Chains A and B, each alone.
Chain A
Amino acid sequence: MRKYKTKTVAADPRGVDSGPHFMDGDHAIAEGALAAGCRFFAGYPITPSTETFERFAERAPEVGAMFIQMEDELSAIAANIGAVWGGQKVMTVTCGPGFSLMVENIGLAAMTETPMVITNVQRAGPSTGAPTLTAQQDMMQAKWGPHGDNAMIALSPDSPQECFDLTIEAFNLSEYYRVPVIILADETVGHMHEKVVIPPADQIQVVPRNNYSGPKEDFRPYKFDGKGGHPMTRAGDGYHFHITGLTHNERGYPVVTAEQNKIVVTHLMEKINGNADDIVRLEENDIDGADVVVVSYGITSRIAVKAIQDARKEGIKVGSLRMITIWPFCENRIRELAPKIKCFVVPEINYGQMVLEVERCAGGKCKVISVNHCGGAVHDPEVILDAIRKGSK
Chain B
Amino acid sequence: MATTEAQTRAAQAAPPTGWRKLQLALRQQMARGELGPWPVLAGLAIIWAIFQTQNAHFLTARNLSNLILQIGVLGVLAIGVVLVLLIGEIDLSLGAVTGVCAGVLGVTLTLHHWNIWAALLATIIVGAAIGVLQGVLIVGIGVPSFLVTLAGLLAWGGVQIILLGDAGELIIYDSSVRAISSAYFTPLQSGVLAGLVLAGYGWTLLRQRARRQQAGLSAPTVGTLVLRWAAVVVIVAASVALMDAYFGVPYILAVLVALALALTWVTSRSVYGRHLYAIGGNKEAARRAGIKVGLITVSVFVIASTLAAVGGILAASREFAVSIGTGGGTLLLDAIAAAVIGGTSLFGGRGQIYNALLGALVIGSVENGLDLLGQPSSVKDIATGVILVAAVSIDAISRRRSQAR
A-B interaction: no
Q: Which residues of B contact A (CB under 8 A)?
A: none
